[in-house]
């Protein structure tokens, strides 16, 4: 009801639009209103806004719209400074709308930019943008810092005085504050930076026309107007979740409106500014409506204030005078969405918010309407700025100086038609309001400071630094004068003939410039002369250097040629070296192969040598054994010879005795020798041919043994075998159970002398104790065969009794060793030839032994001899 009334009031108040020629007067600018259409969300959506030309749109009401019925389906045309179609880029919008405002800011002019439109029409998109597609605000910050970067004052040189103005501090004071801040910073300030808003520095261009004789500082504030209350979004202190204190709007000494006690942060880079912006965003109240998931329910105002002050005549420090300060501001306002409460179906808190939003927008509209009326008709109607915080805050933009721009964002879909129509009407109205142009003065020039002093100072400082270098020690330079005709002409305009003082002022300025010019001319002529002479000297020097250079170049060429030749030789040598290296490698490989072969052969040779030595040793041993045996034989033969000789003599004596005896029988008186002759006679007497020798006494069985015993008892005994009854064959043929243990295969001797034991069990290996410990076995015989030193076969039989033990086992007690030995027949025959005596004796002994031995053939007896040894152990 209330809104309908005010609408009616507005329509009544509305004055006709001014004619085009009245639109722009010389010292005023209109509010430039742009229209940006956002893309349609769905293909099925029917657009109700059509672009007719780059400046005009046509609104055609859909059948669902209220105005379709109320206004008879009337189409409406709206004209703007420019219409941006949906495909327009953020950069293009910035260049056309915001860049002139930033240029003005740099030059000291105020600027205000609104985005206005229905909820979801793209206001925030246009103002802030999206990650990697940033909007107007980040672009403004980027370009400002890119432009002023080299001309920024140190932090805290300019300091807000809490009354919307600034104080100037000395460098020392500023440094002290910076140090204090550093401590605070260390104690933990959060970084709210969002890198998505950052732009690559190549995409940012500088703004031309910056006054380089000024120092600059940027301050930002970020406030939110929510439910017609102002909140400081950058306020340090209360946690983000808590409600912020409400701020009030005040007027400063220059009649500018400001938020009292607002936090104004000095920013030194675009990144720092983004930090501040994101801190504010976090605090910003966001609420959801049925229409837009991220609909902003408040107006947000981000203000950039640029403070600039001229540097002193030396171009070094800021002049410490507050009067010379220039402060310009650019306010970027993202208005809350204009919406009809019945369409969004808001209730409670949301309804209150919507009411407040609509109220403040309506107030803005009313203010603009009245302002327009005052401007056109020259009336002095009171404009109700104070009715809403947003109009109150920007009062002096409309009443004072500055540039105001507005972007009307519109969603061309049919559902938004009625709201969009209101927005368009408001835009049309705003476009007719005019704002006074801001006047810019170069404060430095007005106080008589030369322009370019800062640059001159920089050049001068650089030149001084360069001169301090050792290579510039000999240079003579006059650094006295900076070539300038003084400050620029004062901005004086002669409007009437009476203004003689202006002419005088201009004449004085001109005279000063003429005098300065003359002085400069004189100085220049002097310097020209000096320069000419030094140029001549330099020319001379250059000529000398040139000729020197030429000769050096010749030397260099010769040296280069030499180097090339050497390089060629080096290459050839390297190639040869490579070839040799390859050959050497091959030879080394071949040598090592030969060495390996040699080592193998040496090894073989050594083995052969060892083998031969071994063989040699064996042969030597055999040979030595043989020699020893031969010696032994020779000794035996010799002693045998001796014995035989003696025996022969004895025989001869006996024969003589026998002969005499025979003669005696025949009647000869013969004297029998006493000694052995008696025995022999007795023997001969007892001897009966055909009787057995066993019938004879033992000493007569071996008739020669007596003599032998007498003469050579030891040697005579050697040839006679000693009989031991224990060695009788019958011992092994006693019929008791024998175990014949022959570990090795017995070499068949092929003779009757082979051991033969009846009732025996032959085993090769004793596997268990039962082999001998059983009831059948009582005797044990171990048979071994080996070669003697003459290489003859020697068979040994170790015999013993098997005695059972108490543990169930058996023990063998050896009590006999029998040895069978064979001799070579040739050796035997030799011996028998030479010693026919002993062979007889053996024969007899064999005879004597026949009871124990198997029967022997004469041939057998002549070939083999059985030796029985006794062993009592």
Ligand X SMILES: Nc1ncnc2c1ncn2[C@@H]1O[C@H](COP(=O)(O)OP(=O)(O)OP(=O)(O)O)[C@@H](O)[C@H]1O
Of 120 and 703, nearer to ligand X (C-beta) is 120
337 forms part of the interface with ligand X (CB under 6 A) = yes
Q: Distance between CA 694 and CA 800 in Å, rounded?
A: 31
Q: Is 246 helix (H, G, I), strand (E, B) or coil?
A: strand
CB of 38 to ligand X, least distance (A): 3
- Interface residue with ligand X among 121, 228, 660, 732 (CB under 6 A) is 121
According to the annotation, is 737 in a ligand binding site?
Answer: no
Piece of the chain touching ligand X by CB under 6 A; list 66-74, 114-122, 492-500, 581-589:
114-122
Q: Distance between CA 199 and CA 446 in Å, rounded?
A: 38
Of 257 and 336, nearer to ligand X (C-beta) is 336
CB of 393 to ligand X, least distance (A): 19
Count of positions on this chain that bind ligand X (CB under 6 A): 19
DSSP code string of 756-823: --SSEEEESS--SGGGTSSSS--EEEEEEEEE-TTS-EEEEEEEEEEEE-TTS-EEEEEEEEEEEE--
Of 214 and 296, nearer to ligand X (C-beta) is 296
According to the annotation, is 117 in a ligand binding site?
Answer: yes
Give the position of tokens 């060495």.
Answer: 595
Closest residue to bound ligand X by CB: 122
**Number of C-beta neighbours around residue 681 at 10 A:** 18
Of 91 and 446, nearer to ligand X (C-beta) is 91
- With the C-alpha atoms ordered 319, 323, 326, 327, is the resulting torsion angle positive or negative? positive
Piece of the chain touching ligand X by CB under 6 A; list 120-128, 207-215, 462-470, 550-558:
120-128
- Interface residue with ligand X among 48, 409, 424, 657 (CB under 6 A) is 409
- Interface residue with ligand X among 107, 109, 123, 350 (CB under 6 A) is 123
- Interface residue with ligand X among 30, 104, 111, 122 (CB under 6 A) is 122
Tokens of 259: 């938020």
Residue 595: CA count within 13 A, CB half-sphere: 6
**Number of C-beta neighbours around residue 818 at 10 A:** 23
- Interface residue with ligand X among 32, 68, 125, 302 (CB under 6 A) is 125
User: Mask 279-318, x = binds ligand X (CB under 6 A)?
Assistant: -------------x-xxx----------------------
- Interface residue with ligand X among 22, 39, 626, 628 (CB under 6 A) is 39
How does DSSP classify residue 97?
A: I
CB of 294 to ligand X, least distance (A): 6
Give the position of tokens 């068949």.
Answer: 748
- Interface residue with ligand X among 108, 120, 412, 444 (CB under 6 A) is 120
CB of 7 to ligand X, least distance (A): 21
- With the C-alpha atoms ordered 327, 328, 330, 331, is the resulting torsion angle positive or negative? positive
- With the C-alpha atoms ordered 836, 838, 842, 847, is the resulting torsion angle positive or negative? positive
Q: Are 77 and 57 in contact (CB under 8 A)?
A: yes
According to the annotation, is 120 in a ligand binding site?
Answer: yes
Piece of the chain touching ligand X by CB under 6 A; list 2-10, 113-121, 718-726, 836-844:
113-121
Of 294 and 574, nearer to ligand X (C-beta) is 294
Of 31 and 407, nearer to ligand X (C-beta) is 407
Of 289 and 396, nearer to ligand X (C-beta) is 289
Of 425 and 516, nearer to ligand X (C-beta) is 425
According to the annotation, is 289 in a ligand binding site?
Answer: no
Q: Distance between CA 350 and CA 333 in Å, rounded?
A: 21
Tokens of 484: 């300038």
C-alpha distances (whole Å) from 461 to each of 142, 285, 340, 575, 608 are 29, 52, 65, 61, 100
According to the annotation, is 124 in a ligand binding site?
Answer: yes
According to the annotation, is 784 in a ligand binding site?
Answer: no
CB of 329 to ligand X, least distance (A): 23
- Interface residue with ligand X among 119, 214, 360, 795 (CB under 6 A) is 119
Q: Distance between CA 654 and CA 173 in Å, rounded?
A: 165
Strands in 375-472 per DSSP E: 403-410, 434-436
Of 38 and 799, nearer to ligand X (C-beta) is 38
Q: Distance between CA 737 and CA 727 in Å, rounded?
A: 18
Piece of the chain touching ligand X by CB under 6 A; list 44-52, 122-130, 195-203, 789-797:
122-130
**Which of 421, 412, 343 minimizes the C-alpha distance to 121?**
412
Q: Which of residues 42-61 bind ligand X (CB under 6 A)?
A: none
Residues making up the annotated binding site for ATP are: 117-124
Residues making up the annotated binding site are: 117-124
Which residues sit at the interface with ligand X, rule CB under 6 A? 38-39, 86, 117, 119-125, 130, 292, 294-296, 336-337, 409
């Amino acid at each position: 009801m209330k809104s309908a009334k005010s609408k009616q009031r507005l329509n009544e108040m509305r004055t006709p639009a001014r004619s085009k020629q009245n639109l722009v007067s010389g010292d005023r600018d209109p509010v430039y209103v742009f229209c940006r259409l956002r893309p349609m969300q769905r293909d099925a959506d029917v657009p109700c806004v059509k672009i007719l030309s780059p400046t005009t749109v046509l609104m055609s009401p859909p059948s669902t719209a209220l105005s379709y019925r109320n206004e008879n389906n009337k189409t409406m045309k709206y004209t703007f400074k420019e219409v941006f179609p949906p495909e327009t880029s953020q950069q293009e919008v910035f260049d056309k709308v915001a860049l002139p405002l930033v240029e003005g800011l740099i030059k000291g002019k105020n600027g205000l930019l609104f985005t206005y439109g229905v909820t979801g029409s793209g206001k925030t998109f246009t103002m802030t943008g999206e990650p990697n597609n940033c909007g107007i605000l980040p672009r403004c910050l980027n370009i400002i810092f890119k432009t002023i970067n080299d001309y920024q004052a140190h932090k805290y040189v300019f300091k807000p005085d809490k009354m919307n103005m600034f104080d100037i501090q000395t460098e020392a004071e500023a440094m002290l504050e910076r140090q204090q801040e550093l401590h605070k910073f260390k104690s933990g300030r959060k970084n709210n930076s969002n890198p998505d808003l950052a732009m690559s520095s190549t995409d940012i261009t500088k703004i031309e026309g910056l006054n380089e004789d000024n120092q600059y500082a940027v301050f930002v504030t970020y406030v939110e107007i929510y439910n017609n209350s102002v909140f400081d979004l950058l306020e340090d202190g209360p946690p983000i979740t808590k409600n912020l204190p409400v701020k009030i709007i005040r007027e400063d000494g220059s009649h500018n409106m400001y938020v009292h006690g607002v936090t104004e942060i000095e920013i030194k880079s675009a990144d720092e500014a983004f930090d501040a912006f994101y801190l504010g965003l976090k605090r910003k109240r966001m609420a959801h409506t049925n229409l837009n998931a991220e609909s902003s329910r408040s107006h947000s105002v981000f203000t950039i204030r640029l403070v600039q002050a001229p540097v002193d005549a030396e171009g070094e420090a800021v002049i410490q005078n507050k009067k010379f300060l220039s402060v310009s501001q650019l306010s970027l306002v993202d208005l809350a969405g204009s919406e009809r409460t019945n369409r969004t179906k808001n209730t409670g808190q949301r309804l209150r918010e919507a009411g407040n939003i609509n109220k403040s927008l309506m107030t803005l509209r009313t203010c603009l309407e009245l302002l327009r009326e005052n401007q056109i008709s020259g009336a002095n109607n009171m404009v109700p700025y104070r009715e809403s915080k947003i109009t109150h805050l920007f009062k002096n933009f409309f009443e004072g100086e500055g540039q105001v721009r507005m972007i009307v964002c519109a969603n061309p879909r049919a559902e938004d038609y009625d709201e969009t129509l209101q927005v368009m009407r408001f835009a049309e109205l705003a476009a007719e309001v005019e704002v006074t142009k801001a006047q810019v003065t170069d404060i430095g020039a007005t106080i008589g400071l030369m322009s370019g002093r800062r640059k001159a100072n920089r050049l001068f400082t650089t030149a001084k630094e360069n001169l301090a270098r050792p290579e510039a020690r000999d240079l003579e330079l006059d650094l006295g004068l900076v070539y300038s005709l003084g400050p620029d002409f004062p901005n004086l305009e002669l409007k009437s003939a009476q203004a003689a003082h202006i002419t005088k002022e201009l004449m004085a300025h001109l005279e000063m410039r003429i005098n300065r010019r003359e002085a400069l001319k004189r100085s220049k002529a002097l310097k020209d002369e000096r320069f000419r002479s030094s140029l001549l000297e330099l020319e001379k020097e250059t000529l000398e250097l040139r000729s020197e250079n030429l000769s050096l170049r010749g030397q260099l060429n010769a040296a280069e040629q030499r180097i090339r030749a050497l390089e060629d030789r080096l290459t050839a040598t390297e190639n040869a070296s490579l070839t040799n290296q390859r050959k050497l490698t091959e030879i080394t490989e071949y040598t090592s192969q030969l060495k390996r072969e040699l080592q193998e052969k040496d090894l073989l040779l050594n083995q052969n040598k060892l083998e031969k030595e071994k063989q040699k040793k064996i042969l030597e041993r055999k040979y030595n054994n043989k020699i020893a045996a031969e010696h032994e034989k020779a000794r035996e033969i010799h002693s045998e010879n001796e014995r035989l000789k003696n025996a022969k003599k004895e025989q001869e004596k006996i024969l003589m005795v026998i002969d005499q005896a025979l003669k005696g029988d025949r009647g000869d008186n013969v004297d029998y020798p006493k000694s052995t002759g008696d025995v022999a006679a007795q023997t001969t007497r007892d001897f009966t041919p055909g009787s057995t020798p066993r019938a004879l006494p033992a000493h007569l069985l071996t008739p020669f043994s007596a003599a032998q015993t007498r003469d050579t008892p030891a040697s005579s005994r050697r040839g006679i075998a000693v009989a031991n009854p224990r060695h009788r064959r019958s011992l092994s043929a006693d019929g008791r159970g024998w175990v014949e243990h022959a570990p090795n295969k017995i070499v068949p001797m092929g003779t009757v002398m082979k051991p033969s034991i009846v009732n025996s069990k032959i085993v090769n290996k004793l596997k268990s104790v039962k082999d001998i410990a059983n009831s059948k076995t009582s005797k044990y015989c171990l048979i071994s065969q080996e070669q003697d030193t003459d290489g003859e076969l020697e068979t040994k039989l170790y015999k013993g009794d098997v005695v059972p033990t108490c543990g169930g086992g058996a023990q063998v007690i050896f009590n006999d060793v029998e040895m069978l030995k064979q001799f070579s027949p040739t050796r035997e025959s030799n011996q028998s030839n030479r010693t026919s005596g002993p062979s007889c004796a053996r024969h007899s002994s064999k005879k004597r032994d026949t009871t124990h031995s198997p029967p022997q053939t004469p041939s057998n007896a002549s070939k083999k001899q059985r030796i029985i040894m006794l062993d009592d152990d």
